[in-house]
Structure 1
């Protein structure tokens, strides 16, 4: 009888959702080549990029830095987790080349959360080696950026 109780308690513990976990609200339709979400909590995220032959730029197996940037930007947007957030800038350092077969774990954390412009620190690691360092700037709008009709408003002013 006690064993059944212990077992059900353990099963409940294993199936409990993480108290800090959040419902994903951004990047819902993103291509899986940008990475796999490993963690998403309030103000934090991590994404694992598994390199593929489609990312290679030469015969030696060098991975194109654009793939790293894309995965890191994805990580930053997940940390902000707002469907109306977009990347408006980034300061990026590629600290080491990545080759086919490497897996890169990106970790993002919001440093500023209470304004329309968010700052997100993203670091990338191969094993325990830091290979990427960036600060992403994310603008958060009240409505989707494409529903703002910015181009039409500019045309009215110009015409």
Structure 2
């Protein structure tokens, strides 16, 4: 699998002309993390884990918060309000403790298909703690505006 270890591999905007506005999750809960960088097909999200995310008294962070933040980074990399997550293959490579800060690096592997894959890796310092492939479906309109459940009544 590809890794996203170096920032050079992620073509993030270097100039104001390359600025990409955020079009998804603009009102996201801070528990998903903070979008730090956004470019065409790439995103970086920073998650600071808190006591509210703990799954036990020892400070183990619930994996759902980690997954949600990784999903947030994947969807930001796609950056299309009509995209929806349809699947994911994820690996939690190390336990996360309250107070750990995780950097998620997301990269869309293609930008011109109706089904896209987004590689996401999470790091605490230089240690890879999360690795996933997110699968995203693209639609021309919002999924709730497609009216796929309405059927034409027989005459």
Partner of 1:53: 51
Q: CA 1:141–1:50 in structure 2 vs 1: closer, same or farther (change >3 Å)?
A: same
Correspondence for 1:95 among 90, 93, 96: 93
Q: How many residues of Structure 1 are paired with residues of Structure 2 in the alignment? A: 140
**Structure 1 contact 113–119 (Cα < 8 Å) conserved:** no
- Deviation (angstroms), 1:144: 0.4
Normalised TM-score (structure 1): 0.83
Alignment partners' CA distance in 1, 2:56 and 2:149: 39
Normalised TM-score (structure 2): 0.85
Partner of 2:39: 41
Partner of 2:149: 151
Q: For each residue in 1:108-138, what CA deviation from the matched residue of structure 2 results, as whole angstroms up to 9, or x when unmatched?
A: 0000111011110000000000000000011
**Structure 1 contact 116–141 (Cα < 8 Å) conserved:** yes
Q: For each residue in 1:71-118, what CA deviation from the matched residue of structure 2 results, as whole angstroms up to 9, or x when unmatched?
A: 000000000000101110000000000000000000000001110111
Q: For each residue in 1:20-52, what CA deviation from the matched residue of structure 2 results, as whole angstroms up to 9, or x when unmatched?
A: 330111112211110001100001000000101
Task: Give the structure with the larger helix fraction.
Answer: 1
- Deviation (angstroms), 1:17: 4.9
User: Which SS does the other structure have where 1:150 is aligned?
Assistant: coil
Deviation beyond 6 Å, 4+ runs, structure 1? none
Q: Over aligned residues, Cα RMSD in angstroms?
A: 1.6
Partner of 1:4: none
User: Which SS does the other structure have where 1:40 is aligned?
Assistant: strand
Note the 1:63-142 alignment, pairs <5 A. 63-142=61-140
- Deviation (angstroms), 1:18: 3.6
Alignment partners' CA distance in 2, 1:99 and 1:151: 44
